[in-house]
Amino acid sequence: MTTTPPLDLVVRNARIATASDCYDGDIGVHQGRVVQIGASLPSGVREVDARGRVVTPGGVDAHCHLDQPMPAPVRMADDFDTGTRSAACGGTTTVIPFAAQHKGQSLREAVDDYHRRAQGKAHVDYAFHLIVSDPTPHVLQHELPALIAEGYSSFKIYMTYDDLKLDDGQILDVLSVAREHGAMAMIHAENADCIEWLSRRLEAAGRVAPRFHALARPMLVEREATHRAISLAELVDVPILIVHVSGKEAVEQIRWARAHGLQIYAETCPQYLFLTAEDLGLDDSYQGARCVCSPPPRDQSNQEVIWNGLRDGLFTVFSSDHAPFNYDGTEGKRPAGEEVSFRHIPNGIPGLETRMALLYSEGVLGGRITLEKFVELTATNPAKAYGLHPRKGSISIGADADLVVWDEGERVIRNSELHHAVDYTPYEGRRLRAWPALTLARGEVVWDGQFQPRSGRGQFLARKAPSLWSRR
Ligand code: URP
Ligand code: ZN
Ligand code: ZN
């Protein structure tokens, strides 16, 4: 006779939302995992009544930056403590930040350093992508293959930023490693030389305010690099994922590639739905530095293109690209306390805590995407793309009990109520129609309207190969 384990927790009367279905039921949890899903489950030691509420898998934020070493005096405001705290309070239960290799550094050393930064601090589970900026023969032949095998099954490469960018030959080399070892290559696609040329001309004309960041990085620099990244991937015959796609012209390149049978995946982020280049400033005020990120936010018609891509499957994942720099002080948007030229403003904006609620409010409750699509984009697909599925990103038997119970009530975003360590949010004052009422991470309450801290409860996740495509 088989015995069912006693239930530590039952989430009862839930409207359970997965990437494929929405249905009513109870979720039974034992030792941090989902062990039963059904009607009228037996009592649990703890009970949560979710009647009338949607329950989704905890979010998987597959693109965020936490405590990533930066050139002095710049420093990220969020470490693994504050970053994962804000993740939990916004319904994200898994984060994948970046162990970044700087040029001249061994990749292994970058990973070891990043583990030290995370150790004992995280409130939710975490994995690491790699950033490969120096693909030496040793890195390509030994370090990268070994790290992929150990569970770092994805890496990001850059086509821009002087300290990170690779040339086309180097990109072909690292893509070949991704192909041979079954890893996911994420590509930041912007043409570095065009940006440099435009930036110099703008600076020579005295145009240095934050708003000129958008003029130095027009859509065509993203379009060209996106097309080139696709061509390089086609040459090597390997799937890639283009990160932080901002608008129409890049989307068109990806559609073209898909129509030609290429496995090109794509990510977009809240800033391309909810911000425009005008948020960088209508005049030469420095305030717009808060919204400086790359690629820059575009305009309303591009926002519509991004919504369409989320709806029709062009986008695989929806990530925050949380890059936490304070506006005030000396370590963030004003390096050494100075108002600097647009090209020296640290790139990136905070968004870990607001990612899920923004998409739920404006996407699902705004009638733009289905609840199933929301789950796919924020949890299931990121888990599949980066080798964490089905343990993460789904509500299914055996999966981690990472769950969000949603409260569909009005809420206004106030930075003073967020849990990151950044001194602003680009979404200050924005009205939302939903926010997580409860976040469970492996069955433990981490957010119930109050943050429930337990530093070090988050575990490192060694990852498998991506499961978006079948291995050759
Ligand atoms: O501006 C951005 N996106 N900053 C974060 C770093 C990156 O390129 O993703
Ligand atoms: Zn990037
Ligand atoms: Zn990023």
- Tokens at 71, concatenated: 């050139």
Q: Is the distance from CB of 466 to CB of 184 less than 8 angstroms?
A: yes
Euclidean distance between the first and the last CA atom of the chain, given in angstroms as a whole number: 42
Atom of ligand 1 nearest to the CA of 188: 8
Q: Compute the half-sphere exposure of residue 281: CA atoms within 13 Å on the CB side of its CA.
A: 19
Asked, for residue 402, whether it belongs to a domain, the answer is no
Amino acid at the residue 399? A
Task: Give, using CA atoms, the residue closest to atom 5 of ligand 1.
Answer: 348
**Residues with Cβ < 8 Å from 375, sequence gap 6 or more?**
17, 18, 19, 56, 57
Q: How confident is the model at residue 469 (pLDDT cuts 50, 70, 90)?
A: confident
Asked, for residue 98, whether it belongs to a domain, the answer is yes
User: How many angstroms separate the alpha carbon of residue 243 from the centre of ligand 3?
Assistant: 8
Q: How confident is the model at residue 456 (pLDDT cuts 50, 70, 90)?
A: confident
User: How many angstroms separate the alpha carbon of residue 42 from the centre of ligand 3?
Assistant: 44
Atom of ligand 1 nearest to the CA of 323: 5
d(CA 92, CA 353): 8
Nearest Cα residue to 308 out of 247, 230, 217: 247
Domain of 293, CATH number, reads 3.20.20.140
Domain count, the chain: 1
Q: Check whether 253 has a pLDDT greater than 80.
A: yes
**Residue 2's pLDDT is what?**
58
**Structure confidence by residue, pLDDT tens digits, 196-217:** 999 999 999 999 999 999 999 9
Distance from CA of residue 234 to its chain's centroid?
A: 25
Closest ligand (CA of 291): 1
Q: Is the distance from CB of 135 to CB of 107 less than 8 angstroms?
A: no
Mean pLDDT (the chain, rounded) = 97
Binning the chain into helix, strand and coil, the percentages to the nearest 5 are 35, 20, 45
Asked, for residue 341, whether it belongs to a domain, the answer is yes
Residues with CB under 6 A from ligand 1: 65, 188, 244, 293-294, 321, 323, 347-348
Q: Check whether 463 has a pLDDT greater than 50.
A: yes
User: How many angstroms separate the alpha carbon of residue 349 from the centre of ligand 3?
Assistant: 9
Q: Check whether 470 has a pLDDT greater than 70.
A: no
Q: Is the distance from CB of 352 to CB of 95 less than 8 angstroms?
A: yes
Task: Give, using CA atoms, the residue closest to atom 6 of ligand 1.
Answer: 348
Q: How confident is the model at residue 454 (pLDDT cuts 50, 70, 90)?
A: confident
Residue 390 preceded by cis peptide, ω within 30: yes
Q: Check whether 3 has a pLDDT greater than 70.
A: no
Asked, for residue 472, whether it belongs to a domain, the answer is no
Candidate from 293, 319, 322, 345 with most ligand 1 atoms within 8 A of CB, to mutate: 293
Strand, coil or helix: 426:
coil
Q: Compute the half-sphere exposure of residue 91: CA atoms within 13 Å on the CB side of its CA.
A: 29
Asked, for residue 465, whether it belongs to a domain, the answer is no
**Residue 472's pLDDT is what?**
44
**Structure confidence by residue, pLDDT tens digits, 89-112:** 999 999 999 999 999 999 999 999
Candidate from 245, 347, 349, 355 with most ligand 1 atoms within 8 A of CB, to mutate: 347
User: How many angstroms separate the alpha carbon of residue 427 from the centre of ligand 1?
Assistant: 18
Asked, for residue 221, whether it belongs to a domain, the answer is yes
Q: Check whether 149 has a pLDDT greater than 50.
A: yes
Q: Compute the half-sphere exposure of residue 450: CA atoms within 13 Å on the CB side of its CA.
A: 3
Asked, for residue 22, whether it belongs to a domain, the answer is no
Task: Supply the range of the domain harboring residue 80.
Answer: 59-385
Candidate from 244, 298, 349 with most ligand 1 atoms within 8 A of CB, to mutate: 244
**Structure confidence by residue, pLDDT tens digits, 151-185:** 999 999 999 999 999 999 999 999 999 999 999 99
Q: Is the distance from CB of 411 to CB of 435 less than 8 angstroms?
A: yes
**Structure confidence by residue, pLDDT tens digits, 48-65:** 999 999 999 999 999 999
**Residue 1's pLDDT is what?**
56
User: How many angstroms separate the alpha carbon of residue 214 from the centre of ligand 2?
Assistant: 15
pTM over 0.95: yes
User: How many angstroms separate the alpha carbon of residue 322 from the centre of ligand 1?
Assistant: 8
Closest ligand (CA of 295): 1
**Residue 91's pLDDT is what?**
98
Candidate from 294, 298, 352 with most ligand 1 atoms within 8 A of CB, to mutate: 294
**Structure confidence by residue, pLDDT tens digits, 343-388:** 999 999 999 999 999 999 999 999 999 999 999 999 999 999 999 9
Asked, for residue 469, whether it belongs to a domain, the answer is no
Across residues 269-280, what is the average pLDDT?
98
**Residue 218's pLDDT is what?**
98
User: How many angstroms separate the alpha carbon of residue 366 from the centre of ligand 1?
Assistant: 28
Helices (H), 20-96: 80-89
Strand partners, 95: 61, 126
Amino acid at the residue 390? P
Percent of the chain whose predicted confidence (pLDDT) is above 90: 97
Burial label, 141 (beta-carbon count in 10 A; 0-12, 13-18, 19+): exposed
Q: Is the distance from CB of 401 to CB of 55 less than 8 angstroms?
A: no
**Residue 5's pLDDT is what?**
73
Beta strands of 50-118 (E only): which ranges?
A: 54-57, 59-61, 92-95, 98-100
How far from 99 is each of 165, 192, 201, CA to CA, in Å? 16, 22, 34
